[in-house]
Amino acid sequence: MPIDTPQTQSAASQDDGAAPRHWWILAVIAVAQLMVVLDATIVNIALPSAQRDLGFSDADRQWVVTAYSLAFGSLLLIGGRLADLLGHKIVFLVGATGFAVSSALAGAADSFTLLVCGRALQGVFGAVLAPAALSLLNITFPEGKPRARAFGIFGAIAGAGGAIGLLLGGVLTEHLNWRWTLYVNLVFAVIAVIGGVLLLDKRRHDDTARLDIPGTLLVSAGLFGIVYGLGNADTHGWSSAMTWGFLVLGLVLVAAFGFWQARAANPLLPLRILNDRDRAASFSAILVAASGMFGIFLFLTYYLQVSLKYTPVGTGVAFLPMIAAIVISAQLATNLTVTKVGVRVAVPTGMALAAVGMVWLTNIGLDTSYNTHVLPPLLVIGLGLGHVVPPALGTATAGVGRDDAGAASAATNTMQQIGGSIGTALLNTIATSAVSSYLKGKVPSKSVLAQAQLHSYTTAFWWAAGIFGLGALCTGLLYRSRSHDTAPDAEPVSS
């Protein structure tokens, strides 16, 4: 943590208790966080253009999204430990620099394979960068009002990152080309690295920290097996060993990870974090919300651009009402709903609303209007998700001891990324299978192919509705009726 001189301390405002230099550090951390968050969505808008340019199939397109979120989610737990082992500043700088290099690699890709490799490397360095950024906030700002304000700003940027990614992706794709949705990260990274070098002080690493190598290998390989199995079900078939073999292997490895964490001296994820029933419900809610949300972004992007012929910018703008609904709903949930009826009612109700919106979205057609068939269900989905994510995030980190705060935060982010990976892989497999089923016995004319694509989108939306419905049932059963009485007064450690 930077050491403040008396002059610096006296210059600090009396009401926030933090030195001005701290707020510059927050700005640097916020830029890095924005880079990581918006990359989860910015490429979605550019994906149709990239697919035309590089010539990969509908079955393969999921890997451009999944490679990033899978690498990110499966390595977040180890990323948090590296900051303790090597020091927060060096890990932050390595993460930002690596993210920039991997973005340049993906942007310059002349093949689908190179693009996916670049996206996977982005996820690797994002998993290093994100926990270091979150840890730097904790060690930079003193407890109380300064830290609460810092986390509020950090959380707002994290929440807005998805919307910024959609809009920025549209602008860059339309006025430059899809590669600039990746090259733009170099600008963010340069700011983060220069600011980090100038503002962050080197801190001694924790000599007592140890890396749980067996746990790292088990959880990373297990999560990869699950997502890879789901993603290849359309290519190999559900009865193929390449599908169920990877799924079974992944589940076994994840179970082995849980068994090992109960016995490891320095576990990546202390199981005491998962023992709380409300926290388990919140992790489930975050996983389900991410699964459905990533599916919305992927398939609605293709519907708007391919079926309705929207421009990339128009597609990005089309998502903004849903983001606005999420922001407004989140404020209502935090300040009113959870206070009045508790998390046990708020989160399942939000899940149910999202499910209703997804069912409503299945009414789209090749000539339907955005204002009548897309906008209303998007607003309902946004209203639902706003009542799911913030309360679940707050409860997931409530009551966690200081020693476990980093692990709880990493687990929360892992659920988000893995949920997105699984949702994207599963829904894309279902969608491509729906196209094949629709075309059986039909002459593949232009109109028939267009209807087949539309059928794939609506099929994915029906399954997403089922996922949200299952989430409503599970969270309704898992949350305790008194869970809203135990909500934390302190700021959440994750966003």
CA dist 420 and 66 (Å) reads 8
Please check whether residues 310 and 411 belong to one and the same domain.
yes
Evaluate whether 466 touches 327 at the Cβ level (below 8 Å).
Answer: no
Please check whether residues 116 and 132 belong to one and the same domain.
yes
Query: What is residue 227's three-state secondary structure?
Result: helix
Closest Cα to residue 288, out of 163, 430, 385?
385
Please check whether residues 77 and 101 belong to one and the same domain.
yes
Predicted local confidence at residue 205, as pLDDT:
53
**Residue 240 counted as domain residue:** yes
CATH number of the domain bearing residue 437: 1.20.1250.20
Please check whether residues 126 and 72 belong to one and the same domain.
yes
Query: Which residues lie below 8 Å from residue 69, measured CB to CB, with a gap of 6+?
Result: 40, 123, 294, 417, 418, 420, 421, 424
Please check whether residues 113 and 219 belong to one and the same domain.
no
State which of 209, 225, 244 marks the end of a domain: 209
Please check whether residues 98 and 189 belong to one and the same domain.
yes
Please check whether residues 231 and 189 belong to one and the same domain.
no
Please check whether residues 115 and 37 belong to one and the same domain.
yes
Predicted local confidence at residue 482, as pLDDT:
52
**Residue 5 counted as domain residue:** no
Predicted local confidence at residue 157, as pLDDT:
65
State which of 181, 209, 237 marks the end of a domain: 209
Residue linked to tokens 């088990």: 218
Say how many domains are in the chain. 3
Predicted local confidence at residue 156, as pLDDT:
57
The DSSP secondary-structure symbol of 490 reads S
Closest Cα to residue 46, out of 465, 211, 101, 38?
38
**Residue 373 counted as domain residue:** yes
Domain around 176: 19-209
DSSP output for 37-97: HHTTTHHHHHHHHHHHHHT--HHHHHHHHHHHHHHHHHHHHHHHHHHHHH-HHHHHHHHHH
Evaluate whether 103 touches 183 at the Cβ level (below 8 Å).
Answer: yes
CA dist 62 and 107 (Å) reads 17
Closest Cα to residue 96, out of 67, 65, 136?
136
Evaluate whether 251 touches 226 at the Cβ level (below 8 Å).
Answer: yes
Please check whether residues 61 and 164 belong to one and the same domain.
yes
Residue linked to tokens 């398939």: 299
**Residue 308 counted as domain residue:** yes
Cα separation values, 343 from 133, 326, 468, Å? 28, 17, 16
State which of 209, 233, 252 marks the end of a domain: 209
Closest Cα to residue 376, out of 339, 325, 309, 452?
325
Query: Which residues lie below 8 Å from residue 208, measured CB to CB, with a gap of 6+?
Result: none
Please check whether residues 320 and 466 belong to one and the same domain.
yes
Closest Cα to residue 346, out of 472, 491, 245?
472
How many C-beta atoms lie closer than 10 Å to residue 160's C-beta?
A: 15
The residue count for the chain: 495
**Residue 7 counted as domain residue:** no
**Residue 11 counted as domain residue:** no
CA dist 408 and 391 (Å) reads 15
Predicted local confidence at residue 491, as pLDDT:
40
How many C-beta atoms lie closer than 10 Å to residue 8's C-beta?
A: 14
Predicted local confidence at residue 51, as pLDDT:
87
Please check whether residues 224 and 118 belong to one and the same domain.
no
Q: What is the pLDDT along the chain (495 residues), one digit of tens a residue?
A: 344 444 434 434 444 445 677 778 888 888 887 887 777 677 777 888 888 888 887 777 778 877 887 787 777 777 767 766 777 788 888 888 999 999 999 989 888 989 999 999 998 898 888 777 766 766 676 665 666 566 656 655 665 566 677 778 788 888 888 899 889 889 889 988 888 888 777 665 555 656 778 888 888 888 778 877 776 666 676 777 877 888 899 899 989 988 888 888 777 777 777 777 888 888 888 888 888 877 677 788 888 888 888 887 888 888 888 888 887 888 788 778 878 888 888 899 999 999 999 999 999 988 888 999 999 999 999 899 888 877 887 777 666 665 666 567 667 777 877 787 778 778 877 888 888 888 887 877 888 888 888 998 999 999 999 999 999 998 888 887 654 444 444 343 333
CA dist 33 and 158 (Å) reads 7
Please check whether residues 423 and 316 belong to one and the same domain.
yes
Evaluate whether 459 touches 295 at the Cβ level (below 8 Å).
Answer: no
Query: Which residues lie below 8 Å from residue 227, measured CB to CB, with a gap of 6+?
Result: 66, 70, 250, 418, 421, 422, 425
Query: Which residues lie below 8 Å from residue 480, measured CB to CB, with a gap of 6+?
Result: 277, 278, 344
How many C-beta atoms lie closer than 10 Å to residue 479's C-beta?
A: 27
CA dist 285 and 290 (Å) reads 9
**Residue 60 counted as domain residue:** yes
**Residue 402 counted as domain residue:** yes
